Amino acid sequence: MKDASGAVLRASLRWERGGGGELRKAASPRIDTDRCISCGTCLGACPTGAVQEMQRQICRLCPDCAEGEIMFPRDMEALTRRSCSLACPLGHFPEGYLNLLARGDWEGAWKLISAVNPLPGVLGRICSRPCEEECKRGILIDRPMPIRAAKREVAEWARRSGMARPRRYPRHIDMRVAVAGGGPAGLTAACDLASLGYRVTVFEKGPAPGGMLRLAVPSFRLPDEVWEREYSLALGEGIEVVYGAAVGSSPTLDELFTGGYRAVILAMGAPAGKKLPIPGSDFQGVYDALTFMGAVKQGRPVRVGERVVVIGGGSVATDVARTAMRKGAAEATLVCIEDECSMPALSWELEEARREGVKVAAAHAPLRILSSWMQAEAVELAGVACVRCDDLGRIYPELEEGRGMTLPADTVIFAVGQGVDAAALRRMGLELDGAGRPKTTGPGGATSRNGVFAAGDLLGGQGSVVEAMASGRRAAAAADAFLQGKEWAPEERQVGSAPLEEKIFPVRLEKLEPLRLPSLSPDEALSSFREVDLSPGMEEVEADARRCMRCGYVEVDHRLCIGCGTCRDLCPAGDVIVMGPPQGLEPAGGEG
Amino acid sequence: MMRRHWEVIVVGAGPGGSTAAARLAEAGVEVLLVDKERFPREKPCSDIYGPFGARTYEELGVYERLLEAGYVYPRVILSSPDYTVLSGPNQKGLTCPRRIGDNILKENAARLGAEVWEECWVHDLVVEDGQVGGVRAKYQGEFMELRCKLVIGADGSHSWVAKRLGLFGDDYEQVYLAGRAYFKGCNPPLRDVEVHYDPGFTPGFVCLSPHPHYGDVVNMGVGIQMKKYVDSPLNAEEMTARFVAESPHGEKMRGAVQVSRWMGWRVPSAGQVGKNHAAGALLVGDAGSFVEPFILEGVASAVRSANYAARTALEALEDGDFSEESLARYAAKWEAKMLPQLKALQGLAVTAADPQALNAAFAALKDDPEAVARVFGA
């Protein structure tokens, strides 16, 4: 968190009085664009928002510069409006830490990552990595930078080296804020508010924090000790957690407010497993994903048969199928109404599942579960012609004659989404929408009740951890603004198109083979719940980081710059920013 | 221990770099020639080693080998946007796949005593007090600093050396996009080099060059001004296809089959040629924007500029002076010998932007075959 007041104070020291008595900037920053690594530090810290990220054009005119499609200049230009940092909902600037890693600066990389991310090892493993989809190396040259894997490697380095330490929070604001729910959204909101100086209490309904990390994410993707350790460091010594406390019933919202809490962040997630209302869904051997995953993760006995059918085509469905394979299933099949190209699971999740032998019956809808006296035996499926959406936004399949089939199944697991705890929300007296979720206004998740903000899976969405954490961050910022009586709107950041002389010709770059990320072989993977993804090793990560083309750099708008030098002071890349003679002498708001 | 100090380092072992290195090595200079590729390597080009380079190849004792590997085309055929045809004879220019010909030139530099490092990636210059004193490179997996008195940047159309010196030009009016692929089955077999200023892509052209010794494949390529290409609805490959389908000169290619993938490159034309020297550094060939795409003089211009660069380097070595003022002798040399022709060709390029003017120019030249011969170096 930037300390804007401090920066402005120092800024005033660097202004000087001109001959006529007017205040003048004493100096202006100059940025060496060749060496800027676009880490976002100055951009986030600038008190006047004068720093902007620029994106270079990557030349892909000639077909021999790299494999892949050649582009027209207009398409090259269009790419300059996208960047990996713009894609990150949480505010990471991946180029920054990749380039520090490329020069072996692990501590610098850790500082950049931990400054915006309270759970680096978690996101280093299970982030949906929207940044990698935007990586121009992947779009234009060979494969995207393995940003997530690099983050994981840095988090592991920080653990080994002892750099990952419990967070310490200032307590200079004498106001209490309650956070309901200890999942990633709640944790991020709690950390942000505590960093600002609030006294934060997390109320967690269960006996431990973690939310879906604890209840649903399989340990072969995220070992429990990873999130448990990061939680304990993130909560540090400044955030209080009360277990077994379900906000809404005990304590109620009223009790919180009368008990001295000035704002409440609701981040209780969507903890209710769902089954489709088809005949047979209450037979023996039929589960919802959350019940199934919770039982496996907590070591409760759960019977997995020979043939498992998982109903659903999303990320949770692949997790469930892979878990079932580890619990002894000989065969696991995903059944989903979408065709293969439009399944909600991410492509690599499907790939990983397939590698472990999971089968997919796409474009099929379950009609009923067949049984021999209450024990599931098979699922009757109908072919799906296409998936439609009704007026309320609910999807339903349009069935197709003649593609029906019956899949033998002694275990059927529904992974068709999760519901919120509607009863608890109703008790809170909040206005709810048709799906039973709190109605909110604005990006901060303000609910119908003053001072109550909602975040995370409670609001629906894709269920990705990084999105949930980002929504917790927005709710925290909105709550802070509410408590300080300020207006708040999330920054609508855009990147600028760099001038043509900054254009990158890939042919000039070092030729490097993309790193192959190691993982357990399917046989090894299926024999245990060990983490499947393995560490590529520090040296390999450093070498691969050199593939980053450094599309981004920052530029200063001298009309907004007040010459305070904060950017220069904080730059982690050395003397990239130097203060020189003043430019754009009119201060902010002037005619510039 | 790998040697780290040289008198001259030449970055890029194409025809320009190889010529500069060969000239210097022949004169006894300790010269290192580095290239990011391993030879022989593919190079998108129309494969023409134009007549203006022939004397240099002869002097360096490599012309015979090029003749063995290449093919001396009898004529250059030109056509205007209204399909008027001109032709000029050729004696010394030849076609040879760049993969083969460039390797011959590079090996010749090594034969004459240049140290050659292939797969050596130069990523930065060593600059001290404004004076270039070496390069930073990665070679055999190791990052290293290589010191020298003079760097000759012959690193092609995307020249990193030029960029680092602040001498890299990217004026879309003066830069061309070029692409080429190989085809088999030209009917009748192609024997001349043909350049067609097709009405479809002014300013630009389609070039056909024959390889009778290589299974009679034809190199068909296209060049178009980048500024024009920015708004083009067709890409280079599609433009060539349209030429084949619609131009009377494309007819012989209608039954031909493509036998290689398309490759392309950026041609920085001599329209933007400017300062090509700095303290401790010279630029030759495409790196110095010495190309004249309209008459296919890329290789020969590189070779010629390399001659002047080598001569300048020898003088500077003798004086022990590598300051910018000393190296300005390079500008004096190439400007005197090359600039008048480059300027004249620029006139052609400007004319080519206007099909009517180009038609008129062809009409005038039709009655003056000697002028054509002069332009094409016969």
pLDDT tens, position by position, B60-77 = 999 999 999 999 999 999
pLDDT-derived band at B342 (thresholds 50, 70, 90) equals confident
Q: How many CA atoms lie within 13 A of A60 on its CB side?
A: 24
**Does the CB of B235 have a partner CB in chain A at under 8 Å?**
yes
Mean pLDDT of B178-205: 91
Q: Which residues of A touch B36 (CB under 8 A)?
A: 511
Q: What's residue A1's pLDDT?
A: 38
Contact A286, A415 (CB under 8 A): no
Chain A contact present for B121, CB below 8 A:
yes
Does the pLDDT at position B186 exceed 60?
yes
Taking residues B244-268, report their average pLDDT: 93
Predicted local distance difference test score (pLDDT) of residue B165: 95
**Mean pLDDT in residue range B335-347:** 83
Residues in Cβ contact with B282 at an 8 Å cutoff, skipping those fewer than 6 apart: B150, B151, B152, B153, B276, B288, B309, B312, B313, B327, B330
What confidence score (pLDDT) does residue A136 get? 95
Chain A CB within 8 Å of residue B239 CB: no
User: Chain B residue with minimal CA distance to A71?
Assistant: B235
Peptide bond just before A251 cis, omega within 30 deg: yes
Query: Averaged over A477-489, what is the pLDDT?
Result: 95
Q: Quick check: B179 and A73 CB within 8 A? A: no
B99 contact A CB<8A: no
Tokens for B334, please give them.
């190439």
* B164–chain A nearest CA distance, Å: 10
- pLDDT at residue A10 is higher than 80: no
Name the pLDDT band for A150 (thresholds 50, 70, 90): very high
Instruction: Tell whether the model's pLDDT for residue B296 goes beyond 80.
Output: no
Q: Would the CB atoms of B263 and A63 count as touching at under 8 Å? A: yes
Q: Is A34 on the interface with B (CB under 8 A)?
A: no
> Is residue A233 predicted with pLDDT exceeding 50?
yes
CA distance B89 to A215: 82
Task: Write the DSSP assignment of A523-584 as a string of letters.
Answer: HHHHTS---SB----HHHHHHHHTT----EEEEE-TTT-----HHHHH-TTSTTEEEES--S
Chain A residue numbers touching B44 (CB-CB < 8 A): 62, 64
Across the interface, whether the CB atoms of B158 and A505 are under 8 A apart is answered yes
Test A64 with B266 for CB contact under 8 angstroms.
Answer: no
Write the pLDDT tens digit of every residue in A526-544: 999 999 999 999 999 999 9
Helix boundaries (H) for B112-260: 160-164, 226-230, 236-246
Name, in order, each residue with C-beta under 8 angstroms of A30's C-beta and a sequence gap of 6 or more: A577, A578, A579, A580
Give B204's contacts in chain A (Cβ within 8 Å).
none
d(CA A418, CA B80): 70
| Stated pTM of the model | 0.89
Q: What is the pLDDT of residues A381-422, one digit of tens each?
A: 999 999 988 887 778 899 998 999 999 999 999 999 999 998
DSSP single-letter state for residue A506: G
User: Mean pLDDT throughout A56-75?
Assistant: 79
Tokens 């800027």 sit on residue:
A36
Residue A83 has pLDDT above 50, yes or no: yes
**8 Å CB contact of A61 and B163:** no
Please list every residue in chain A whose beta carbon sits closer than 8 Å to the beta carbon of residue B160: 508
Distance of alpha carbon A533 from alpha carbon A520, whole angstroms: 7
Mean pLDDT of A84-107: 97
What sign does the CA torsion over A442, A446, A451, A453 have? negative
Give B 245-304 residues with CB within 8 A of chain A: 261-266
CB contact under 8 A, A63 and B264: yes
Chain B residue with Cα closest to A501 = B170
Q: Which of A459-463, A527-531, B262-266 has the lowest mean pLDDT?
A: A459-463
Give A-chain residues touching B263 at CB under 8 angstroms.
62-64
Alpha carbon A424 to chain centroid, angstroms: 27
Helix (H) or strand (E) holding A41, with range, is: helix A41-45
The residue of chain B with its CA nearest to that of A62 is B264
Residue B371 has pLDDT above 80, yes or no: no
Using CA atoms, how far apart are residues B309 and B17, in angstroms rounded to an integer? Answer: 10
pLDDT at A6: 40
Listed in sequence order, the residues at least 6 apart from B255 whose beta carbon sits closer than 8 Å to its beta carbon are B185, B187
pLDDT at A460: 86
Average pLDDT over residues A231-250: 94
Residues 318-347 of B with CB under 8 A from A: none
Q: Is A70 on the interface with B (CB under 8 A)?
A: yes
Residues 6 or more apart whose CB falls under 8 angstroms from that of B244 comprise B220, B250, B253, B254, B256
User: In the prediction, which pLDDT does B33 show?
Assistant: 98
Of the candidates A555, A570, A567, A552, the one whose C-alpha atom is nearest the C-alpha of residue A94 is A552
> How far is Cα A49 from Cα A38, in angstroms, rounded to an integer?
15
Cβ distance of A64 and B42 shorter than 8 Å: yes
In chain A, residues with a C-beta closer than 8 Å to the C-beta of B170 are 500-501, 503
pLDDT level of residue A588 (50, 70, 90 thresholds): very low
ipTM: 0.87
Average pLDDT of span B309-322: 98
pLDDT band, residue A4 (cuts 50/70/90): very low
Q: What is the mean pLDDT of chain A?
A: 91
- The answer to whether A575 contacts chain B (CB < 8 Å) is no
Over residues B242-253, the mean pLDDT reads: 95
Interface test with A, best of B167, B176, B230 (most A CBs within 10 A): B230
Contact criterion met (CB below 8 Å) for A253 and A265: no
Nearest beta carbon to residue A73 from set B230, B261, B263? B230
Contact B177 A61 (CB under 8 A): yes
Lowest average pLDDT, out of A196-200, A258-262, B238-242, goes to B238-242
Interface test with B, best of A34, A59, A62, A103 (most B CBs within 10 A): A62
Query: Between chains, do B170 and A511 touch, taking CB under 8 Å as contact?
Result: no
Interface with B, mutate which of A500, A505, A511, A542 (most B CBs under 10 A): A505
Q: Do A510 and B138 touch (CB under 8 A)?
A: yes
Dihedral (Cα; B219, B222, B226, B230), 10-degree rounding? -120
| Closest CB to A508 among B158, B230, B262 | B158
Q: Distance, in angstroms, between A500 CA and closest chain B CA?
A: 8
- pLDDT at residue B271, as a whole number: 83
Identify the closest residue of chain A to B162 by CA–CA distance. A508
Q: Which residue of A has its CA nearest to B161?
A: A508
Q: Which residue of B has its CA nearest to A504?
A: B158
Residue A567 has pLDDT above 90, yes or no: yes
Answer whether A333's CB lies under 8 Å from A536's CB: no
CA atoms within 13 A on the CB side of A89: 21
Task: Give the whole-angstrom CA distance, residue B12 versus residue A438.
Answer: 65
- Count contacts between A and B (CB, < 8 Å): 52
Size (chain A), residues: 592
Interface with B, mutate which of A33, A60, A61, A548 (most B CBs under 10 A) = A61
Q: pLDDT class for A592, splitting at 50, 70, 90? A: very low
| Any B CB within 8 A of A78 CB | no
In this model, does residue A5 exceed pLDDT 50?
A: no
**B123 in contact with chain A, both atoms CB, cutoff 8 A:** yes
Instruction: Answer whether B44 touches A (CB < 8 Å).
Output: yes
SS3 state at A323: helix
Which residue of chain B is at minimal alpha-carbon distance from A543? B141
What value does the mean pLDDT take over residues A354-380? 95
Q: For B37, name the nearest residue in chain A, comparing CA atoms only.
A: A511
CB proximity list for A115: less than 8 A, separation 6 or greater: none
Tell me whether A67 touches chain B (CB under 8 Å): no
Q: What is the β-pairing status of strands A577-580 and B150-153?
A: unpaired
Give the mutation candidate from B225, B266, B286 for the A interface (greatest A CB count, under 10 A): B266
A508 touches chain B (CB under 8 A): yes
Say yes or no: B139 contacts chain A, CB-CB below 8 A: no
Q: Residue A505: closest CA among chain B residues belongs to which residue?
A: B158
For chain B, state the CA radius of gyration: 20
pLDDT of residue A288: 97
pLDDT score for A15: 52
Nearest to B170 among A62, A65, A501 (CB): A501
| Chosen from B158, B182, B227, B230 to mutate, greatest number of chain A CBs within 10 A | B158
Of A90, A100, A144, nearest in space to A122 by CA:
A90
Residue A17 touches chain B, beta carbons under 8 Å: no
CA distance A357 to A333: 9
Would you say residue A314 has pLDDT above 90? yes
pLDDT band at B376 (very low <50, low <70, confident <90, very high): low
The pLDDT > 90 percentage for chain A reads: 81
Q: Which of A64, A500, A511 sits opposite B264 (nearest CB)?
A: A64
